[in-house]
């Protein structure tokens, strides 16, 4: 049993194949790079993946249907726990968000001028442009509330405004996701966490990191091409036109699903 790590764990799975030992590769996220080797026939007896979109990608690369199992990622089981749902409801009540307004979370992150591993160029003003569009939406429509959560690496002074609130990074993210109604990201992992928690997600797909995450393509979010489109997408999500996403099998823990796959190879 190993993950999609490209060195020691990859070597262990390859060795297991040569020795005739059954093996499982648990893929943590979308495997956009790892599919180049995990998608090869014979790599691992079973491959456990996040959702149906990832499974389809592996099938398109030639893997057999029975080899690719949608289990979800155990690291995200906490997001669907009863405790997280209850804590989110308590936080929503404590913050006064049960007043009929649509509460939108903007999970910001840094946008560098250059990608750390490729030659792609970014626009460092993107996070502030998205925030400005969301603030304008709230200012023009009293049915919306904005909650701003900056990345720990950002150095931004929060500006309070009517129906614009701040979420410190010390606030439990699982609780917060269950307390809000819509989540907006560029390429933050909060987008995936929000989708797993059952929240509609809007991804602004002009980030330097969009090709690395592809939330819209992988069924996690509704993607918009630019910050200029985010307000209309939020309105539609609030009206129930979001993307439905679930990791693994609905109502089951990813941990339990992977254990079932292990049992099937041992029986």
Q: Are residues 163 and 260 in the same domain?
A: no
For residue 54, being part of any structural domain is answered with: yes
For residue 253, being part of any structural domain is answered with: yes
Q: Are residues 167 and 117 in the same domain?
A: yes
> Which pLDDT does position 119 carry in this prediction?
86
Question: The CATH number of the domain where 85 resides is what?
Answer: 3.40.50.2000
> Which pLDDT does position 55 carry in this prediction?
95
For residue 221, being part of any structural domain is answered with: yes
Q: Are residues 134 and 161 in the same domain?
A: yes
Task: Tell me whether residue 73 is exposed, middle or buried, using C-beta atoms within 10 angstroms of its C-beta: 0 to 12, 13 to 18, 19 or more.
Answer: buried
As a whole number of angstroms, the distance between CA 226 and CA 250 comes to: 32
Q: Are residues 85 and 203 in the same domain?
A: yes
For residue 138, being part of any structural domain is answered with: yes
CA angle, corner 196, sides to 181 and 80, nearest 5?
95
- N- to C-terminal Cα distance for the chain? 16
> Which pLDDT does position 250 carry in this prediction?
47
Q: Are residues 43 and 66 in the same domain?
A: yes
Q: Are residues 15 and 139 in the same domain?
A: no
How do 24-26 and 182-185 pair as beta strands? unpaired
Q: Are residues 92 and 170 in the same domain?
A: yes
> Which pLDDT does position 80 carry in this prediction?
87
Q: Are residues 69 and 83 in the same domain?
A: no
Name the pTM for this structure: 0.86
Q: Are residues 90 and 140 in the same domain?
A: yes
For residue 206, being part of any structural domain is answered with: yes
Q: Are residues 18 and 98 in the same domain?
A: no
Q: Are residues 40 and 153 in the same domain?
A: no
Number of compact structural domains in the chain = 2
Digitized pLDDT (tens) for each residue of the chain, 267 residues in all: 999 998 999 999 999 999 999 999 999 999 988 999 999 999 999 999 999 999 999 999 999 999 999 999 999 999 988 999 999 999 999 999 999 999 999 999 999 999 988 888 999 999 999 999 999 999 999 999 999 999 999 999 999 999 999 999 999 999 999 999 999 999 999 999 999 999 999 999 999 999 988 899 888 899 999 999 999 999 999 998 655 565 554 457 899 999 999 999 998
Q: Are residues 136 and 58 in the same domain?
A: no
For residue 243, being part of any structural domain is answered with: no
Q: Find the domain containing 172 and state its range.
A: 78-238
Per DSSP, the residues of 182-226 read EEEESS-HHHHHHHHTT--EEEETTSTTHHHH-TTTTTS-EEESS
For residue 150, being part of any structural domain is answered with: yes
């Amino acid at each position: 049993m190993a993950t999609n790590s490209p060195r020691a764990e990859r070597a262990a799975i390859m060795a297991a194949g040569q020795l005739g030992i059954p093996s499982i590769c648990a893929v943590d996220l979308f495997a956009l790079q790892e599919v180049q080797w995990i998608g090869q026939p014979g790599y691992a007896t079973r491959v456990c993946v996040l959702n149906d979109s990832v499974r389809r990608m592996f099938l398109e690369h030639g893997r057999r249907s029975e080899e690719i199992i949608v289990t979800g990622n155990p690291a995200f089981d906490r997001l669907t726990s009863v405790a997280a749902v209850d804590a989110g409801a308590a936080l929503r009540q404590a913050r006064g968000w049960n007043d009929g307004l649509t509460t939108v979370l903007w999970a910001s992150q840094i946008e560098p001028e250059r990608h750390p591993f490729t030659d792609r160029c970014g626009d460092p003003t993107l996070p502030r442009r998205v925030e400005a569009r969301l603030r304008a939406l709230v200012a023009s429509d009293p049915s919306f509330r904005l909650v701003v959560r900056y990345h720990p690496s950002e150095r931004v002074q929060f500006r309070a405004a009517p129906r614009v609130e701040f979420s410190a990074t010390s606030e439990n993210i699982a609780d917060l996701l269950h307390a809000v109604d819509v989540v907006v990201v560029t390429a933050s992992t909060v987008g995936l966490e929000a989708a797993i928690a059952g929240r509609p997600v809007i991804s602004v797909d002009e980030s330097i990191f969009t090709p690395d995450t592809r939330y819209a393509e992988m069924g996690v979010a509704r993607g918009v091409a630019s910050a200029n489109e985010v307000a209309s997408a939020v309105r539609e999500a609030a009206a129930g036109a979001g993307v439905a996403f679930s990791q693994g099998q609905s109502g089951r823990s990813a941990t339990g699903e992977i254990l079932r796959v292990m049992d099937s190879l041992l029986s």
